[in-house]
A and B are shown apart, each in its own frame.
Chain A
Amino acid sequence: MAMRNDMQPLDDGRLRTRLRESRPAPDLPPGFQNAVWCRIEQAEAATANVSLEEWLDRAVAWLLRPRLALAGVAAMLLVGFSIGALQSGSLANDMAKQQYLAAVSPRTAH
């Protein structure tokens, strides 16, 4: 009868308490937590450096792919032509003005 009572399933709370009592945790040395955090931070910093290098290498390899390089050159040309076209108005005006002056007053145009 007593055996039967002992074999009854324990609820979760009691089970956890008994397990904790059966495996006593040793006392942590002083400064243990700080040391752990230091090591974690160092490891993260090292990972960040490596990833920057890797990122740069990958970016360069990506940039140097022929298709992308060609597209990049085309885009730069497009940007340059657009800037030039936007700036051409004032130069065209100056050239036209000089041309008129050269026609009506050749000795003072230049």
Chain B
Amino acid sequence: MRRSLLILLAVLISSATIVGLSSVVAKRLWAHHFARPGDDLVWLRREFRLNDAELQRVRQLHEGYLPKCRSFCERIDARKRELQATLTSGADAPGAIEQKLIEIGAIRAQCQAAMLQHFREVSQVMPKEQGRRYLSEMQRLTLGFHEQMEKTMSADPSAPHGTL
């Protein structure tokens, strides 16, 4: 009786493990298949129900925007490396550090402005209601990220930022 119960328990545990593992593997495989890693615009087409002509226009805008975005990222990375070099050189140059920080901030602002402009252009290609939803969603996901970070910092009383 006890042996049979143990065997039955082992069978149940093995079954649950097989089901669990195979579902995780299948979920990943199917998700990779549906997400199509080579195409950045799969989500846009599905989420905002774009037809072929709209998708084609969005693709043109997307491909035109990517080099600009990459250029901003490279410029920010270059300034950050320079800032790091200034910081690690040990030279007492607060003016130089401040200058680098200002430059990084300026490029970030230009990058965000270009990004917002791109979102506006893409939203205008979409049907009106979908375009409005896209713009709102993208602003929430990109600019909202920074706002959330700032709010978190100002909510912390030990944080150096005030709520001015």
Chain A interface residues (CB < 8 Å from chain B): 53, 56-57, 59-60, 63-64, 72-73, 76-77, 79-85, 87-89, 91-93, 95-97, 99-101, 103-108
Contact = CB atoms under 8 A, between A and B. Distances in A.
Which applies to chain A's interface (DSSP): helix, strand, loop or mixed? Answer: helix
Which applies to chain B's interface (DSSP): helix, strand, loop or mixed? Answer: helix
Interface in B30-66: 30-37, 40-44, 46-47, 62, 65-66
Contacts of A100: 40-44
12 contacts: A57-B1, A77-B18, A79-B19, A79-B22, A91-B27, A92-B33, A92-B34, A93-B35, A97-B43, A101-B141, A103-B62, A104-B40
A81 B26 contact: yes
A87 B34 CA distance: 12
Nearest to B37: A99
A25 B22 CA distance: 73
